[in-house]
Amino acid sequence: MEYCSAECGLSVSTLKAYESDVSDFLKELKLKSEKDVEGIKPSRMVDYVESCRKRGLAPNSIWRHMVAVRMFYRFLMLEGHIETDVADAFQTPHLWKKIPDVLTVEQVDSLLSAPGAPSGEGENRPKRDTTGIALVLRDRAILEMMYATGARASEICGLNLDSVNFDYGFVRCYGKRMKERLVPVGKRAIEALKDYMEQGRTLLSKDQAESALFLSRTGKRLTRQMLWNLVRDCALKAGIGIPVHPHMLRHSFASHMLAGGADLRAVQIMLGHADISTTEIYTHVDRDRLLSVHKRFHPRG
């Protein structure tokens, strides 16, 4: 794990996933020493993948397991613990890229208007006390920031007080492998963030030394699970009839940008994608545009 963190620059969440995956691999195949690990046959690798499938793991999870195992063997080779990397010949499968689920512009508008709206079923946050008002301002700022920047949930939770440049309208995010990028922020998100900073954060803050931008009710840094619950609850209040999660706002940001005529390379930079092929998946989401192009150019459209 130290190798994956220091030399490969993997994020904390990825480190935890890889540690779990490698532990599962060693436990499933009863490997207890370097000799056992090096002496494994490729057929047992296939058996392991099959066991993952039988246990109900999704293709993406199985793929991640095999990536973690290959990195584990690479580390053992680099450190001289083994002489033969038997995992090197075992190719990880190529996955189909799933077209992401996105919200319509109208659904996004409803979602962004949900904080502070009249309480619906399941709403348990007070709205008349100062803490309740602070949470409403925080939730508005978070949703506006997520849709304005396309930032990941972990990036939003990781924002600090000095991460936002209000004068120039930029936010500094740290993505996968701690790669830094600057992302523009629109006026509405900046205004919502200012309202939160001026009227909300001071009410939530319990420790002057806390550098986190978005605070929980207890004054600590907001966690990804809290953010997930926030988005889900606001989607329910907005009456959106599909399950909504934080990454769906990232998908919506990208697809709406491209549908509006944004440059693919610019969207890639804002999302922090290392490979532009990852960003290209969003070009397939705008179904209305595809229909119009088909009708315009197909002989029998």
Looking at residues 277-291, what average pLDDT do you find?
Answer: 79
Q: How far apart are CA 54 and CA 21, in angstroms?
A: 16
How many other CB atoms are there within 10 angstroms of residue 169's CB atom?
15
Q: What is the pLDDT of residues 226-281, one digit of tens each?
A: 999 999 999 999 999 899 999 999 999 999 999 888 999 999 999 999 888 889 88
Active site amino acids:
152, 176, 247, 250, 273, 282
pLDDT at position 35 is 81
User: Could you give the domains of the chain?
Assistant: 2-78 (no CATH), 105-291 (1.10.443.10)
At 127 the pLDDT is: 47
Q: Supply the pLDDT for residue 91.
A: 67
Q: pTM score, two decimals? A: 0.72
Q: Give percent of the chain above pLDDT 90.
A: 53
**Per the structure block, which two tokens stand in for 47?**
């058996």
Residues 113-169 pLDDT 10s: 999 876 544 444 444 578 899 999 999 999 999 999 999 999 999 999 999 999 999
Of 164 and 90, more confident: 164
Summary mean pLDDT of the chain: 87
Report the pLDDT value the prediction gives residue 38, as an integer from 0 to 100.
81
